[in-house]
Structure 1
Amino acid sequence: MDPNTLLTRNHGVASWAALQKAGVSRTDLRQALHTGALTKLRRGWYASDRAHPAVAASVRAGGVCSCVSALRLHGVWIPEGYGMAHMRARSAAHNQRLPGLCHRHGRPLREDGAVDDVPTAFAHAVRCLDAEGIVVVCDSLMNLGLMSRDEIEVALRSSPRKTQALLDKCARSEAGTETMARLRLRRHHLSIQTQVQIPDVGRVDLLVGRRLIIEIDGQEYHHTPEQFYTDRARDLAAFRLGYLPVRLGYRQVAVPEEWTISEEAILAIVRRGEHLAALPNADLRSNPALSLP
């Protein structure tokens, strides 16, 4: 592996040992430091001029990019409100009581690189995330195929029982906002199904009762003219069948003040009993899941 590939794969940060294996000599290193192509972070660790800020900051401080920061780099959906530079360190650094370190349930692990792998990062994130955040992350891990339910269960074995029990609330949602809405609405003891396939409509994010469809845009969602048209066509098809489709944007779920408004609108429909009315134009016998109360 050449040095550029090595640095790219490691978010712009690499150890001197890894750079040597990639063919970098001491003369090459001195030249790179002189030109600014590389910067010394700490003894034995270097960053390119394109290094990820969270990774460079973690290594510079004597740690490893871990927890929610590492999970973000692996593509996992992380709720808002958690800073960019979460890090952990080996036993020696923990014994020095360096500030700002994330911990796992159990003894500190050895450092294997600048960024932790998914299971190690998740083990540390469990102690930083709140209950809703843990379920959001677990849903994302399973949806992306980064960890199976069994692997998550093993990773949580050293955690408190109340944390382990959160796995029962997971449902492989495609976006964190979907998980957040599902968890919050279930506090009202509503019957909610996820990723339901409805003939002539397609797969919907949430189905509350018999009729109330809730579709939620993720943070990365961007409307194109074609997508805008497709979404409205799906809504029309749902209306024709007797469903009540509601669309929520990212902020309408992720921002607490916005969610208060969204939740009240949904609960108004529920209080009127509209989510439980029979479907006049849907063949429930061909789709038994839709007959749930």
Structure 2
Amino acid sequence: MDSGVFKRGKLLESMSRADLDGAIADGRFRQIRHGWLATPSADPDVVRAVSVGGVLTCASALRRHGAWVVPTTKLHVRGSTSSVRNHPAWCRQHGRPPTVTDAVDDLPTALRHAARCLPTEEFVVICDSLLNRGLLTPSALDAELGGAPRSVQQALTLVDGRSESGTETLVRLRMRAPHLNIRTQVAIPEVGRVDLMIGSSMIIEVDGYEYHADPHQFERDRLRDLQARALGYDPVRLTYRQVIYQWDRVVPLLGELLRRDLHRRPPIDTHP
């Protein structure tokens, strides 16, 4: 994955010192830290991480690797030298950190830092995404984190690679309760597969960030909601913004629906 930021020694494996000096002189590279160079189009976040003495890791690196990450303005950095490795605001992993070889940590290294750095909810979101998108297998996930502390092992019990979006995972985790049966990606005859099923009849669908860009999908989903309601289900559709930014307003409303036991009402049997 080319971030546009390189170790000088790495560049010298593929070009001569004279050629590299010429590239610096004509602006194709610029030095951002001793031993590190960047192209004019380099990723700004990676440049920032390297400029302050580290490399990109944890959630910031995992987003670059294709994982769904809870939106944040925080830049996740780990120190690339012993003198800055214990910076109080930077990420660390459980156990000895690997040697820095690139400006952006590889996926396994970034994941191990996320296991220690992130809150459980955000960590589970990333693990769900990695599995669902085929970026990591369940066995590889266990192998990478098998020696992690008990808190990480407990978080892994919440991982469900069937979740198709980070917002879906967030709702599933936030709705968890001892008395609730929550299932992921449930297939309903005449309706199709739904994001979450609570109890026997409450459906929760979570629209993605780009959802309203597709008017045909909007129409299809509204028809599907109507079909589900005709079969005795209670569909609830949440938007990306409601899950990410307005959950404090959403959760009491969902709680009221549950208090009315709508999720316990059996759907209509259309094949007696």
Task: Tell me, in whole angstroms, the C-alpha distance in 1 between the residues paired with 2:225 and 2:149.
Answer: 43
What SS class does the counterpart of residue 227 from structure 1 fall into?
helix
Query: Using a 3 Å threshold, how does the CA distance of structure 1 residues 177 and 282 change in structure 2: closer, same or farther?
Result: farther
1:18 counterpart residue number: 10
Question: Out of 74, 84, 88, which is 2:78 matched to?
Answer: 88
Task: Tell me, in whole angstroms, the C-alpha distance in 2 between the residues paired with 1:164 and 1:82.
Answer: 27
2:156 counterpart residue number: 167
Query: Using a 3 Å threshold, how does the CA distance of structure 1 residues 149 and 282 change in structure 2: closer, same or farther?
Result: farther
CA apart distance, 1:25: 3.6
Opposite residue 277 of structure 1, the aligned amino acid is R
Question: Out of 33, 43, 55, which is 1:42 matched to?
Answer: 33
* 2:95 is equivalent to residue 106 of structure 1: yes
CA apart distance, 1:33: 2.7
Contact 1:10 1:114 in 2 (8 A): no
How do 1:159-198 residues align onto structure 2 when only pairs under 5 Å count?
Answer: 159-172=148-161, 173-187=163-177, 189-198=179-188
1:288 counterpart residue number: none
CA apart distance, 1:121: 0.2
Post-superposition CA distance 1:128-162 (Å, at most 9, x none): 11111121111111111222222222322333212
CA apart distance, 1:220: 4.3
Question: Out of 70, 81, 88, which is 1:79 matched to?
Answer: 70
The alignment covers a number of residue pairs equal to 271
Identity of aligned residues (%): 44
CA apart distance, 1:99: 5.5
CA apart distance, 1:164: 0.8
1:128 counterpart residue number: 117
CA RMSD of aligned residues (A): 2.1
Task: Tell me, in whole angstroms, the C-alpha distance in 2 between the residues paired with 1:244 and 1:224.
Answer: 24
CA apart distance, 1:15: 2.0
Contact 1:102 1:124 in 2 (8 A): yes
Opposite residue 13 of structure 1, the aligned amino acid is V
CA apart distance, 1:282: 4.3
1:61 counterpart residue number: 52
How do 1:149-160 residues align onto structure 2 when only pairs under 5 Å count?
Answer: 149-160=138-149
Contact 1:242 1:282 in 2 (8 A): no
CA apart distance, 1:187: 2.8
CA apart distance, 1:219: 3.2
Query: Using a 3 Å threshold, how does the CA distance of structure 1 residues 38 and 90 change in structure 2: closer, same or farther?
Result: closer
Question: Out of 268, 278, 284, which is 2:256 matched to?
Answer: 268
CA apart distance, 1:208: 0.8
Contact 2:46 2:103 in 1 (8 A): yes
Task: Tell me, in whole angstroms, the C-alpha distance in 1 between the residues paired with 2:261 and 2:38.
Answer: 59
2:221 counterpart residue number: 231
CA apart distance, 1:94: 4.4
Opposite residue 259 of structure 2, the aligned amino acid is R
Contact 1:90 1:108 in 2 (8 A): no
Task: Tell me, in whole angstroms, the C-alpha distance in 2 between the residues paired with 1:36 and 1:236.
Answer: 60
2:247 counterpart residue number: 259
Query: Using a 3 Å threshold, how does the CA distance of structure 1 residues 266 and 188 change in structure 2: closer, same or farther?
Result: farther
Post-superposition CA distance 1:243-267 (Å, at most 9, x none): 1111101111112xx2122222222
Post-superposition CA distance 1:231-250 (Å, at most 9, x none): 11211221221211111011
Contact 2:132 2:164 in 1 (8 A): yes
* 2:195 is equivalent to residue 205 of structure 1: yes
My pick for the range that moved more, 198-207 or 13-22, is 13-22
Contact 1:11 1:55 in 2 (8 A): yes
TM normalised by structure 1 equals 0.85
Opposite residue 33 of structure 1, the aligned amino acid is I
Contact 2:23 2:29 in 1 (8 A): yes
My pick for the range that moved more, 65-74 or 225-234, is 225-234
Task: Tell me, in whole angstroms, the C-alpha distance in 2 between the residues paired with 1:160 and 1:113.
Answer: 27
Task: Tell me, in whole angstroms, the C-alpha distance in 2 between the residues paired with 1:18 and 1:147.
Answer: 27
Gaps of 5+ in 2: none
